[in-house]
A and B are shown apart, each in its own frame.
Chain A
Amino acid sequence: MKHIISVLVENESGVLSRVSGLFSARGFNIESLTVAPVGDKQTSRITLVTEGDGPIIEQILKQLNKLIPVIQVVNLSEGPHVGRELMLIKVSTDRPQQDKSVRNEIMHIVSIFRAQVVDATPTSLIIEVTGDNDKLHACLAMLEPFGVAEVVRTGQVALARGNRK
């Protein structure tokens, strides 16, 4: 099962490599990892998505807690939470047979997924879509037939719902 783990750390140099080094050294996998300073800039929030059975996740949480600059570790997947990810998709539109109707069809898909076109050139479009994992997959699948040139994703960020920290 996938777990979304939220890690609050001191915002000091080297802290990210301590976290990622822990995962590689102990053979835990990281599916995605995002990091940015939060609040007063003294701390950063790392959100990482990992996979493993109960004992492995337990070790991951304990090992993260053991790192000196780690202030708090929460397994968000243990309770209700909201997760979001942002994806940019570049669709190429420079094939000869492509006419206006293709662009229209793409725009239609964009609106179904409440995505946006954030850049357009004669030969390509860049589409921005935000949502949970399923939505991003679905959107990408719909756009694939039009010729997806490049995709980037941020990896998930997430927050627990309600008062849970």
Chain B
Amino acid sequence: MQLTGAEIVVKCLQEQGVSTVFGYPGGAALYIYDEIHKAGKSLTHILSRHEQGALHAADGYARATGRPGVALVTSGPGATNAVTGLATAYMDSIPMVCISAQVPVPLIGNDAFQEVDTVGITRSCTKHNFLVRDVRDLARVLREAFYIATSGRPGPVLVDIPKDVSNTKTEYTPAAGEVSIRSYRPTAKGNQRQVRRAVEMLQAARRPLLYTGGGVILSNGWEELRRLTYALNLPITHTLMGLGAFPAKDRQFLGMLGMHGTYEANMAVSHCDLLVAVGARFDDRVTGKISAFAPHAKIIHIDVDPTSISKNVRVDLPIVGDVRLVLEQINAVIQEEKLDQQPPDRQAWWQEIEQWRKKRGLRFTQGSDVIESQYVIQSLCTLTDGQAIVATDVGQHQMWAAQFYGFQEARNWLTSGGLGTMGYGLPAAMGAQVAFPERQVVVITGDGSIQMNIQELGTCLHYRLPVKIVILNNGFLGMVRQWQELFYESRYAQTDIAVAPDFVKLAESYGALGLRTDRPDEVIPLLRQGLAHPGTVLMDFRVRRESNVYPMVPAGGALQDMLLGELL
């Protein structure tokens, strides 16, 4: 069958089971857009209001569903606007395919209109990228792009398609069989000897701790993780990226660890004798001062990416493999040897943990005058039973969301951890809402961050996406202000943003519902009203202006030297 490059793009997307593309058109992308138009209902295109929005939406779609997100942008400024979205996904290992249009092949390198070296610019913020100079390579490249994006350690892949390639015909053969790339063969199963060794170490430990991260979510391995945690009655802590893998309400869950982790989680890390890292990468926001991190522990590290292992922290037992498969192997050994029926006595360890827990490091008091951000999030959690899909931006509100929204399920938490991209939340929520039109999708954001992609309200209205936006409005770039207060003698350099739009009117001008309150007693009624509304809602909560996120481990400090704040 002879097809044009643009027709092949649509065919290949359909081959991959893609039903939704997020994008923004332009000259070099016109042939592809024309085919998307012709494809009609079989391929939905969501038009964002900025390419960054399209990329984050595809990213949110991927995090919520586990399927690769797909974005489409034009050449030049379209591609450069996509860069932050790619880098965000890259840092958090999110499977995504971004198709960018490029100037025609004969013009490449000539400083042509809307030309940038897209593969050059995106090389270091994608898992891999391709420039397709010959239409005969197009189908193969697109199939490889999806394979690379979704296998091993996932990540965004960019395919740059020159305009003339999208308009040239070639023979198209439907996909047959799996993609195979001789230079790329990710490990799947763990080495069985090491798996057995891991089980022995778990049995021998007096004070074991599971430290699990984004890899558990990315591998869809949370069921296996829960099985292991319950079988051996292990305490468990999550990174920011791992939230939802284990139910927050469960007694075995110690909360998040790291810079803004709970007292009990950070103390447990500092005192455990065995730390089992599962799909987590020992980020500096987690370890603090490396030499004081888990000083008494042997470390087991399960990760599909060998570069993650022994990168920051020396590991005693590495297991390279997919989290879900390795946990399956571990659980099988435990069952086979009936270890779950005679778990070692770890009363003393649990007692120690309960003592730390009693400190209640996440305490706050909601008075009658000023709204506390924590209270808004806690109320939101109660009203949604911990079951909403929650997207955030970056800052204090993000940390409070991580601390106070008790996630009960995986893939309900969309946040930019690695890059920390302000402006991520609203478009990511849109992506999730497109995937799950019937579910409650909430953005928890700050008055700074929401203004970084506020234009996406237009997209919400265009596609009737009933996203609920909760602004914790403190009139500051709060997280930066907190650092200035604590480490720069309260010199608030360029962090006061009290001059702001009227968010209620802003929402209304887009056709959304806008609500506002500054009264604690109105928090719950207003949330109720907003959550029940069938359309897009923006809720502006005027919260305490100067409030800090605690506990806090100052950058580079030891985990056990947390600052606990005014209340403790």
* Chain A residues engaging chain B, CB cutoff 8 angstroms: 9-10, 13-14, 17-18, 21, 25, 55, 58-59, 62-63, 65-66, 68-71
Knowing A55-B310, A58-B310 are in contact, say whether A10-B124 is a contact too (CB < 8 A): no
Assess whether B120 is in contact with A71, with CB atoms less than 8 Å apart: no
| Chain B contacts with A in 327-350, Cβ cutoff 8 A | none
The distance in angstroms between the C-alpha atoms of A27 and B108, with both chains bound, is 30
Distance in Å: Cβ of A36 to nearest Cβ of chain B: 18
Q: Which of B119, B120, B183, B307 contacts A63 (CB 8 A)?
A: B307
Knowing A17-B120, A21-B123, A21-B124 are in contact, say whether A68-B184 is a contact too (CB < 8 A): yes
Chain B residues contacting A25 (CB-CB under 8 Å) are 124
Distance in Å: Cβ of A18 to nearest Cβ of chain B: 6
24 contacts between A and B (CB under 8 A): A10-B183, A13-B131, A14-B131, A17-B123, A21-B123, A21-B124, A25-B124, A55-B310, A58-B310, A59-B307, A59-B311, A63-B307, A65-B306, A66-B305, A66-B306, A68-B127, A68-B128, A68-B148, A68-B181, A68-B183, A68-B184, A69-B183, A70-B183, A71-B183
Q: Which of A13, A17, A62, A71 contacts B182 (CB 8 A)?
A: A71
Chain B residues contacting A62 (CB-CB under 8 Å) are 306-307
* Chain B residues engaging chain A, CB cutoff 8 angstroms: 119-120, 123-124, 127-128, 131, 148, 181-184, 305-307, 310-311
Distance in Å: Cβ of B330 to nearest Cβ of chain A: 24
CB-CB nearest 9 A-B residue pairs: A62-B307, A71-B183, A68-B128, A62-B306, A68-B184, A25-B124, A63-B307, A69-B183, A66-B307
The distance in angstroms between the C-alpha atoms of A18 and B148, with both chains bound, is 16
Distance in Å: Cβ of B251 to nearest Cβ of chain A: 38
Assess whether B306 is in contact with A14, with CB atoms less than 8 Å apart: no
The distance in angstroms between the C-alpha atoms of A5 and B520, with both chains bound, is 64
Nearest B residue to A13, CB-CB: B131
What is the predominant secondary structure among interface residues of chain B facing chain A? mixed
Max chain A C-beta neighbours (<10 A), residue from B123, B148, B307, B311: B307
Max chain B C-beta neighbours (<10 A), residue from A59, A63, A66, A71: A66
The distance in angstroms between the C-alpha atoms of A77 and B183, with both chains bound, is 23
Distance in Å: Cβ of A59 to nearest Cβ of chain B: 6
Chain B residues contacting A63 (CB-CB under 8 Å) are 307
Distance in Å: Cβ of B307 to nearest Cβ of chain A: 4
The distance in angstroms between the C-alpha atoms of A14 and B310, with both chains bound, is 29
The distance in angstroms between the C-alpha atoms of A18 and B311, with both chains bound, is 20
Chain A residues contacting B131 (CB-CB under 8 Å) are 13-14
Chain A residues contacting B127 (CB-CB under 8 Å) are 68
Chain B residues contacting A10 (CB-CB under 8 Å) are 183
Max chain A C-beta neighbours (<10 A), residue from B127, B131, B306: B306
Distance in Å: Cβ of A35 to nearest Cβ of chain B: 16
Chain A residues contacting B123 (CB-CB under 8 Å) are 14, 17-18, 21
Nearest A residue to B129, CB-CB: A14
Chain A residues contacting B184 (CB-CB under 8 Å) are 68
Beyond known contacts A66-B307, A68-B128, A69-B183: 18 more, CB 8 A cutoff? A10-B183, A14-B119, A14-B123, A17-B120, A17-B123, A21-B123, A21-B124, A25-B124, A55-B310, A58-B310, A65-B306, A66-B305, A66-B306, A68-B148, A68-B183, A70-B183, A71-B182, A71-B183
The distance in angstroms between the C-alpha atoms of A143 and B120, with both chains bound, is 43
The distance in angstroms between the C-alpha atoms of A89 and B441, with both chains bound, is 70
The distance in angstroms between the C-alpha atoms of A72 and B310, with both chains bound, is 21
Nearest B residue to A68, CB-CB: B128
Chain B residues contacting A21 (CB-CB under 8 Å) are 123-124
The distance in angstroms between the C-alpha atoms of A13 and B160, with both chains bound, is 14
Distance in Å: Cβ of A94 to nearest Cβ of chain B: 42
Chain A residues contacting B306 (CB-CB under 8 Å) are 62, 65-66
Chain A residues contacting B305 (CB-CB under 8 Å) are 66
Chain A residues contacting B124 (CB-CB under 8 Å) are 21, 25
Distance in Å: Cβ of A129 to nearest Cβ of chain B: 36
The distance in angstroms between the C-alpha atoms of A70 and B306, with both chains bound, is 15
The distance in angstroms between the C-alpha atoms of A9 and B311, with both chains bound, is 24
